[in-house]
Structure 1
Amino acid sequence: MFRKVLIANRGEIAVRIIRACRELGISPVAVYSDADRAALHVRLADEAYGIGPAPSTESYLSIEKILDAARRCGADAIHPGYGFLSENPRFAEACARAGIVFVGPPEEAMRLMGSEARLGRDFEAARSEALGAFGDGSLYLEKYVSRPRHVEIQVLADGHGNAVYLGERECSVQRRHQKVIEECPSPALDETLRRRMGETALEVVRAAGYRNAGTVEFLLDEDRTFYFLEMNTRLQVEHPVTELVAGVDLVREQFRIASGEALSIRQDQVALRGWAIECRIYAEDPDKSFFPSPGRIRRLLEPQGPGVRVDSGVYEGWEVPIYYDPLIAKLIAHGADREQAIARMRRALAEYRIQGIRTTIEFFKELLADADFAAGRLSTALIEEFLARRRKSAGLPREALEAAALAAALEHRARRAPGRGRLPPRMAFMKLEVYHGEERLEIEVPDAEGPARIRRDGREVAADWVRLQPGEYSILVAGRVFDLALSADGEAFVVSGRDGAALVRVADPRRASRRHEVDAGRPGLERIVAEMPGKVIRILVRPGDPVACGQGLLVLEAMKMQNEIQAPKGGVVRELGVVEGKAVNSGDFLLSLE
């Protein structure tokens, strides 16, 4: 076994590999960009080496810098994780030349399975041939699969001729062709189909001369016919669901294989026990078209309890950078069957608290409650269909909305008087108005103790409350307990709890009339600013152009994603404050609408 391993990655996967190293008695070495000096994977490693500026092209994608760090620390092997250089055959080849073991497949197998590049070349060759033969270079592909499932088979192969498949993963729940929820096993497979797909995957492995961990991906149609899609020549993001159900530590097996050992398990020993589901926790805002949400994590409370696992790369106080994929953690739930796994996942999501940035936690709460998901009616179109039928703001139960309104009013008052134990006597009760969409609630907020009063639709209720810490409250309404977390969203608050999230706005009626008078004399000018740092890729409008509400205005690139900035209302473009290619910071002026 290896003495020292360098992990050529960052975030949660680097943390996962470091933990495997610890269990095997291997000394883990981290690399980091300038943006990641205080990252969790750096803090957990024995040694760490800087590899350059924040952009991945100048750090995590630099073969030369990573190999230099490996030489400096005397690493026996390099584990690439996933993403970055993990499927780059030039990197595997460079490791071999340097005498450092690459924890992954042979370079030849990676090239053979690099179907995307070969497909592009094959397209051009076929187009040229068709043009010469028929005077028409048009091409078409078969077969179109309607409402397919994305099902993949986990494989392991060693250097002694042994290969196994460890069941399948259902990866159909995708957004922008990116997996967001995975589970093992698939609701669509029985033992017969599982065996057929597994044996087909092993045929691919043997034909390619493949070694180490890999995934053979298929599309499965509604008639349960499967079609080969591609092979991923690395550890997958979603590997934990297989680990929990198959009982095999995949990272440990990767190290064993790379060090020349045989597989620790035979195919006849593989047994799937229970059900596991994974939700990828992204730093994204679901209410703003999943726009990236970098920033400082002010509060982090991870779920615990039976059947819950969290693979995370962040900590409370960490600043989520803009330069990398927005995945910050993976939440995995394991149960005796799918029903229990879903129940545990819903419970874990309700316990998860991340404040300071927006995440996909609330979105997953809604999605897991969806009838199609609960019934296992999955396809790659599920999220698109779910978003189409999902109401923009899910209606919260009556008491839940009242508790959310009170929490927002309390936080508004606390931010007006930071550090004060009690407000002056004349402000013992502050009357505030809270708006949720078109709905209006009146709140009488007490001083540091005593019940609050909530008025809504002619009904008044008293509510007990405790401020646990800034942005977090425990509230009792009509005997129900609401544990709520708040994060600022411009001038409003996003209030999250077990029942979901609500966007509410707090207003002080004593100032409302003055503000109304000011607004009445102000032109209807809407200044649109950048909500996060990024780079302007495309500008879609010019001054003088009329635009409709929701129309694209420009495209901003951040966190490896291109995000379309849309018009918040209809109007006319009056001014542009940026040009294509310009880097912007949070709060920078982009354009104005009137």
Structure 2
Amino acid sequence: MFRRVLVCDRGEIAVRLVRACRTLGTHSVVAHSTADAGTRATLLADDTFCLGPPDRALSYGSVPNVLYACAHSGADAVHPGYGSLAESPELARACEQTELTFIGPNSEVLALCGDKIAARTAMANADVPTLPGSDHALRDPDDAAAEAERVGYPVLLKAAAGGGGRGIRKVDDRSQLDEAFDEVTATACTAFGDERVYLEKHVSGVRHVEIQLISDRYGHTVHLGERDCSIQRGNRKLIEEAPAPALSERTRSALRNSGLRLAETVGLRNVATVEFLVDRNGTCYCTEVNPRIQVEHPVTEMWTGYDLAVSMISEAAGSALPFAQHELSPSGHAVEARITAESPEDGWRASAGHIEELRLPSGPGVRVDTWLETGTRVSPHYDPLLAKIIAWGTDRLMAVSRLRTALGEFSCSGVQTNVSALEAVLDDSSFREAAHDLDCLPRIESGDNNGL
């Protein structure tokens, strides 16, 4: 096992990883920006190291600063969480060239999965279905127009190196294409340092379903079932659950087997999530591979009883997976809601400030992952995620009801939150009947609570 693990992320995932290190008897070092000094993760850690100023590029996203932090703190491994460097081939490669261990897939897998065009090729090689789209980087708007005519409008223009829902623009017809192409290219260059753009067919009335995978260095890969993440706003997930409801066993099996085939094709090690769109007929389209731990991993942990954070560190240290596929025995149902510092009543405007009073829910089957404490400063510099509330029940109805109760118990003064929007989703008839899809949130936000 490692002597010291540098945790190179912030917020609730940093707290989560510090606790995982403690479970394994490993010392933790939280690398933080000046804006995050004194936050919960730094107070819980065995040691801390300041990476730099609030700007992510100069702190959490700086490979040289992270390597210096490892050298200065004596860390022999680095866990990037799900943040700026979680999918960085550069950091993984630097670790591979030294005595450091990168806790996650190797640099080749990260580079492949981070290139969405190359990933589409890998999906085809693994006989995993994809959306109709371009198999090359689009040269210009005319090239994009030719591909769009081939697959049929509407289409999504996407950054080849994109992630986190950024660098995506829906295009309904040719008249929108030139402006959209320039916009996505600019976003791709600014956000990801890679101006390449490709396109895929846009489909409506579909669900977002993803398969959780974990592999070890001895050639063993297992899936931990699937999650439904269809409640989204602007490509950002708000509510997730495991297992995915309202899937036929045939579709469920096809998704899981596709994920396992893709993991073998790309040579996965450690963790990854394979994401799909599933239509009402059960047709599945693979959209991307995220070779890191996901924000929504707790619903899988609550459903399976398997600790993904601990397992990532153990696998990176050389441990074999502790169970075979047939030994996985999930039970019940789990649902997660992401509480963010945003105001749905004010156009989802981000909120910043000091937490003046905090009340966290509890009760049977309720888990809260958060970095908040009374007095915590919520900075405008970072993602607005404040907490994740996860509820488990013997069935979906119980899990949803427990989560709704838990949201009612949550209280946080000093910043605005999205709790009212989350409650509206959980109260919606289409969600309660598992008849929701990616297009349902605008209807719920409009106050139409009569289902689909």
TM score, norm. by length of structure 2: 0.82
Provide the residue aligned with 1:533 in structure 2. Answer: none
Return the alpha-carbon distance in structure 1 between the equivalents of residues 39 and 371 of structure 2: 8
Computing the radius of gyration from Cα coordinates, the structure with the larger value is: 1
Structure 2: state its 5+ residue gaps.
Answer: 122-132, 152-199
1:81 corresponds in structure 2 to 81
Matching of residues 55-74 of structure 1 within 5 Å: 55-74=55-74
Q: Which residue of 2 aligns with 1:138?
A: 146
286 and 227 in structure 1: CA distance in 2 versus 1, 3 angstrom threshold? same
| 1:107-186 equivalent positions in 2, closer than 5 A | 107-116=107-116, 118=118, 127=138, 138-140=146-148, 141=151, 143-186=201-244
Identity %: 41
Q: Deviations over 1:212-256 (max 9, x none)?
A: 011000000110110111000000000000001111100111112
Q: CA deviation at 1:57?
A: 1.1
Q: Which structure would you say has the larger RCO, counting Cα contacts within 8 Å and 6 or more residues apart? A: 2
Q: Tell me what 1:343 maps to.
A: 401
Name the structure 1 match of 2:101.
101
Cα drift, residue 99 of structure 1: 1.6
Question: How far is the alpha carbon of 1:117 from its aligned partner?
Answer: 6.1
Match of 1:221 among 249, 271, 279: 279
Larger relative helix fraction = 2
8 Å contact 2:248–2:282 — kept in the other structure?
A: no
SS at match of 1:108: helix
Q: Structure 1 residues 124, 47: CA separation in 2 closer, same or farther (over 3 Å shift)? A: same
**Code of the aligned partner of 2:102:** F
**2:301 pairs with 240, 243, 250, which one?**
243
Matched, 1:286 2:286: no
Residue identity opposite 1:33 in structure 2? S
Q: After superposition, where does 1:21-420 map in structure 2 within 5 Å? A: 21-116=21-116, 118=118, 127=138, 138-140=146-148, 141=151, 143-390=201-448
What is the CA–CA distance in structure 2 between the aligned matches of 1:55 and 1:117, rounded to whole Å? 29
1:257-314 deviation digits (Å, cap 9, x = unpaired): 1011110111001122000000001001110011001101000010011000000011
Equivalent pair of 1:127/1:138 in contact (CA under 8 Å): no
1:148 and 1:384 map into 2 onto residues whose CA distance is 15
CA distance in 2, matches of 1:137, 1:176: 24
Q: Tell me the C-alpha RMSD between the 2 structures.
A: 2.1
Distance 2:445 2:209 in 1: 22
Contact kept, 8 Å, 1:127 with 1:137, in 2: the verdict is no
Q: Of Structure 1 and Structure 2, which has the larger fraction of its residues in strand?
A: 1
SS of match in other structure, 1:61: coil
SS state at 1:51 partner: strand
- What is the TM-score when the length of structure 1 is the normalising length? 0.63
User: Superposed, which structure 2 residues align to 1:498-537 within 5 Å?
Assistant: none
Distance 1:115 1:8 in 2: 23
Counterpart of 2:431, as a letter, is F
The code of the aligned residue for 1:309 comes to R
Q: Structure 1 regions of 5+ residues with no counterpart?
A: 392-594
Distance 2:320 2:250 in 1: 28
CA shift at 1:20, angstroms? Answer: 0.7
Question: More deviation in 135-144 or 344-353?
Answer: 135-144
Helix, strand or coil at the partner of 2:262 = helix
Give the match's secondary structure for 2:52.
coil
1:151·1:217 contact (CA, 8 Å) conserved in 2?
yes
Distance 1:55 1:239 in 2: 27
Does the Cα contact within 8 Å between 1:173 and 1:383 map onto a contact in 2?
yes
Q: Matched residue of 1:354: which SS?
A: strand
Corresponding residue of 2:193: none
Match of 2:158 in 1: none
Give the structure 2 partner of residue 571 of structure 1.
none
Aligned mates of 2:58, 2:354 — CA distance in 1: 24
Is residue 295–residue 321 contact of structure 1 (8 Å, CA) maintained in 2? yes
- The alpha-carbon distance between structure 1 residues 128 and 299, as it changes in their structure 2 partners (threshold 3 A), is closer
- Residues 446-494 of structure 1 deviation map (CA, whole Å, 9 limit, x = unaligned): xxxxxxxxxxxxxxxxxxxxxxxxxxxxxxxxxxxxxxxxxxxxxxxxx
What's the secondary structure of 2:430's corresponding residue?
helix
**Displacement of 1:38:** 1.4
Letter of the structure 2 residue corresponding to residue 44 of structure 1: L
Q: Give distance in 2, aligned partners of 1:296 and 1:2.
A: 36
1:197: Cα distance to partner?
Answer: 1.0
Could you tell me how far apart the structure 1 residues matched to 2:259 and 2:401 are? 32
| Distance change in 2, residues 1:291/1:362 (3 Å) | same
